Structure 1
């Protein structure tokens, strides 16, 4: 059973020994995934078995078709707010449609190689909505933790909290005792026995205690949702029409974006733990295939699960086979032990999700970004507040838009468009030495620094045209520190060239590869003339000095260049105490 039988490079060098390791790690992760799958489903507003179906189907398909060797896929806490909102607004059937559409979007993202782009979503945005999701999950479990009755499901955070406060008088101490027992077992197990699945142990012990000492006093999965079937449902295609697709395209896109982010973050964590490298675009395709198939069996959207993936690695996994075994293990448990799962108290599931929320809250990173008091802090807080008080879709949209706007402002702030002259002392062309009475009337030099894009292009054009009204013979643009030009920047540069070329010559030095490529594609490179582009400023200045009218130098007292002394000698002016500047090679 060597790697040659597997065309997928993730299985290269696979052996029976590797299968043994994958078998152990897959069973361990499968045991951990069972309570989480049910808890995530219930918190998303659907029946617990749908979380189990997702764990099985998505877990197997993500491992088979993804781009990471160690990724464990399934339902995750990150999806809870968006899935709950879809169920409340559109119903469970339309949730299946949204998940199916999200799968198609993910596949397309992978096919068009957008995997690397998702990595560039600003960290304040991801931390903001992740922490907001954690708050939503945690507060959403207060009802089950306290055993409150009569509480209606509300999509709005404020309405949800108000509903909880109105029903605090219905608190069930048996539920609180059950929840506290489960919580303590999880915390103690995590601390003292890290290899033991604390959430499963907590569920079992608290369930046994509740059933033995106060039977019928706490709500259970069976009393709230009925018996859990011990088999997978039949394959069924959701009803999809254009009107439904139009209504769900927004939620589907958010599911796809969130799933893509979560899965790639998980894959990066796996890479760091194993010194391996995942294929981001293939991972998106695998996630997409899983989310296309899972709704056909009634499952909810799935993505890569960071905690379960890390556990998979720590348990000794060596290939994606461990993820397949994890799905099969959950299927076997479903077939054998499904009737017993109905006796699990909802109060026992509450601390499981609260621990998940606490672990995913990114509280340390959140506080770190917050105390910087920069524009990143603004993006973080806005994304966080919108996630909690509005919805995840709005939070992601506004967070990304705000991040783009603030980034644009930063680029504008660092932009330098200033007149310059050579400094004989530093041997550089500098801006601070240009003064009134000390600026060559025939050669105008500009230092241009920073990207030349839509945010600064107009200011770039206006600044230069406003300062060359005296119509010098040569305009030299030093652009070695311009890493990027977009179409807007090129358009404004073209306007400068056309305007200035009516009476003078434009020279450009140090042009980088990306700006040069843009100018060639638009034809501006040929309009300026290849002979007017120089790698070094010194060569460009020699050309510029050769183009001036020396008769106009007679009587000039600026002495901007070394040659000025000779050009103005007929006037009898001596450059006394004037800095004499030389042509530099920079």
Structure 2
């Protein structure tokens, strides 16, 4: 274990450094109570880590709770309640997206908050149902009903937790920014299009992009005027509230507008519900309503490992086989979404991906015991949490408590929530989830990266999210392998010691896909010069090679020798040189360690070249 002493700081400064992450903690105090030294415990550095330090790292609440104050409690309460007002309507809406009864959105909203209080490493993150998770679990709900979503939640949690224990977080590194952006945009388009039917008050079967659009056009004559009017007005109000000129640190009115802006989803849903209830009191029901929501808290019990749905019973093995690739893609997307959000709000502080995965895994496992669908970090609610000035993970307690209160007391009022207002909430959220900036960035920086982005986007929209993600990753890996197999090669003709030479410089490390290409490229350049010039292979950019490259470099030396050309290895690292010499000890004579090209050749080699 490596420990790094950090300069003297006060409790406040240490808490700012910890930021709820549990990465830094005090070890000594002076008489005034200020901590003089802090220690950073990094488990990967050495296995000999103090068990207490590992415990603090793996249960972060131990690190920050001793420094908790009443002032922080007040700020966390405000932030947590604000997030709760956003989480309730969003949860109901995402349950609808998943094809689940509305109460499942509430069941999914509180367990993650309580788990993350203890195991979470970021003060800002709020774990709960998200639009992408709802869309990805939709097929499971279609095949196995609500029990399918609960079982997927449990299995996803187990996989995520296992990946965290095995430090497999690096897997998400294979999902590049273009692929992620394409997936996110496709999910937003698919979810947004699936809500058009509710916005217009019509009935359409299917939830995919093509089915939704075709269904809307086929049933456009059944559009309900009042639902459409309420939905459009809700969209306009949501956009208007989002752009209110509020400020947390301003005067009373600016603070009020800031709070309304943060809680805009709740404001719109509450207003729409009041309108529907007023119509109901006057004997009218012009809107399609959410309808009866099961009252009370969810039952606590293990997830179902055998499911009976549509008069068909499926055992655990059959269900797992039916879930197929979604058992891999869903946990990976959950991890990607959660870690991406954690990095966004880390603001330069260290992020423990293993701990984030462990917390997310446990949240899903325990969530399945209260009938939750798969959950992960929510960018929208995390942004609200951050903007509300949350201080620690304690804010999640208030969010979870408010959702539990809604489950136990307020479910009867949810009956009057118009479906068009929920559709408006989702459509606006999906619009702001669209990532147009990445297209512009890639166009300016590297246009080839638009290929995996576009392929991922189109395949996710027209096939499925899982297929699109797999195809996008495959395209990205093909591009990566192509550029690995075709390293740039710089060729210069120089004069050294009175003789002309070819200096050939690979621009990156070499692995087996590039072995044949480099050999062919050098021979081609030599033939192109039309002369038997000595070849200097400059390895300043090559930090590693494998056995295949070593073999081909030996063949290259033999090929050049048959052409009566001398080959010299110059500027190669000791590790690479060792690999070459272990492959063929005779290659040792071709290495030069001079700092410049001058004086590189032995007199015998100079004479040989001049004789030729």
Q: Which residue of 1 aligns with 2:602?
A: 545
Distance 1:305 1:51, change over 3 A: same
Q: Which residue of 2 aligns with 1:218?
A: 287
Measured after TM superposition, the shift of residue 301 of structure 1 is: 1.0
Is the 8 Å Cα contact of residues 190 and 208 (structure 2) preserved in structure 1? no
Measured after TM superposition, the shift of residue 55 of structure 1 is: 0.9
Is the 8 Å Cα contact of residues 105 and 256 (structure 1) preserved in structure 2? yes
Distance 2:606 2:437 in 1: 65
Query: Does residue 1:485 correspond to 2:551, yes or no?
Result: no
Q: Which residue of 1 aligns with 2:268?
A: 202
**Pairing partner for 1:237 from 303, 318, 329:** 303
Q: Which residue of 2 aligns with 1:54?
A: 108
Q: Which residue of 2 aligns with 1:164?
A: 216
Q: Which residue of 2 aligns with 1:430?
A: none
Distance 1:358 1:168 in 2: 22
Measured after TM superposition, the shift of residue 416 of structure 1 is: 0.2
Query: Does residue 1:510 correspond to 2:567, yes or no?
Result: no
Measured after TM superposition, the shift of residue 405 of structure 1 is: 2.1
Measured after TM superposition, the shift of residue 513 of structure 1 is: 6.7
**SS at 1:456 equivalent:** helix
Is the 8 Å Cα contact of residues 25 and 317 (structure 1) preserved in structure 2? yes
Is the 8 Å Cα contact of residues 174 and 473 (structure 2) preserved in structure 1? no
Q: Which residue of 1 aligns with 2:36?
A: none
Unaligned runs of 5+ in 2: 1-10, 16-24, 27-51, 245-256, 306-314
Distance 1:542 1:242, change over 3 A: farther
Q: Which residue of 1 aligns with 2:337?
A: 262
Q: Which residue of 2 aligns with 1:296?
A: 369
Is the 8 Å Cα contact of residues 103 and 256 (structure 1) preserved in structure 2? yes
Q: Which moved more, 1:344-353 or 1:240-249?
A: 240-249
Distance 2:394 2:76 in 1: 6
Q: Which moved more, 1:287-296 or 1:234-243?
A: 234-243
Aligned residues: 529
The one-character-per-residue Cα deviations of 1:120-170 (angstroms, maximum 9, x if unpaired) are 632211111111111111111111111113x22x14422222122221122
Is the 8 Å Cα contact of residues 279 and 285 (structure 2) preserved in structure 1? no
Distance 2:594 2:331 in 1: 48
Q: Which moved more, 1:84-93 or 1:377-386?
A: 84-93
Q: Which residue of 2 aligns with 1:528?
A: 587
**SS at 1:316 equivalent:** coil
Query: Does residue 1:17 correspond to 2:71, yes or no?
Result: yes
**SS at 1:95 equivalent:** helix
The one-character-per-residue Cα deviations of 1:508-531 (angstroms, maximum 9, x if unpaired) are 2222477467x28x93385634x7
Unaligned runs of 5+ in 1: 426-437, 557-586
**Pairing partner for 1:183 from 235, 257, 260:** 235
**Pairing partner for 2:422 from 333, 341, 349:** 349
Measured after TM superposition, the shift of residue 357 of structure 1 is: 0.3
Distance 1:445 1:374, change over 3 A: closer
Q: Which residue of 1 aligns with 2:35?
A: none
Is the 8 Å Cα contact of residues 96 and 298 (structure 1) preserved in structure 2? yes
Q: Which residue of 1 aligns with 2:403?
A: 330
The one-character-per-residue Cα deviations of 1:372-410 (angstroms, maximum 9, x if unpaired) are 782122222211111111111111111112122223444
**SS at 1:118 equivalent:** helix
Distance 1:453 1:155, change over 3 A: farther
Within 5 Å, which residues of 2 pair with 1:120-139?
121-139=175-193
Distance 1:236 1:79, change over 3 A: same
The one-character-per-residue Cα deviations of 1:234-260 (angstroms, maximum 9, x if unpaired) are 212331734433442411221112111
Distance 1:106 1:382 in 2: 27
Is the 8 Å Cα contact of residues 489 and 504 (structure 2) preserved in structure 1? no
Is the 8 Å Cα contact of residues 154 and 303 (structure 2) preserved in structure 1? no
**SS at 1:362 equivalent:** coil
Q: Which moved more, 1:473-482 or 1:337-346?
A: 473-482
Distance 1:228 1:496, change over 3 A: same
Measured after TM superposition, the shift of residue 69 of structure 1 is: 2.4
Distance 1:526 1:247 in 2: 56
Is the 8 Å Cα contact of residues 151 and 303 (structure 2) preserved in structure 1? no
Q: Which residue of 2 aligns with 1:578?
A: none
Distance 1:130 1:495, change over 3 A: same
Is the 8 Å Cα contact of residues 201 and 288 (structure 2) preserved in structure 1? yes
Distance 2:472 2:453 in 1: 8
- Provide the TM-score with structure 2 as the length reference: 0.77
Measured after TM superposition, the shift of residue 187 of structure 1 is: 2.8
The one-character-per-residue Cα deviations of 1:244-278 (angstroms, maximum 9, x if unpaired) are 33442411221112111211121122123xx5443
Query: Does residue 1:461 correspond to 2:523, yes or no?
Result: no
Distance 2:317 2:452 in 1: 35
- Provide the TM-score with structure 1 as the length reference: 0.80
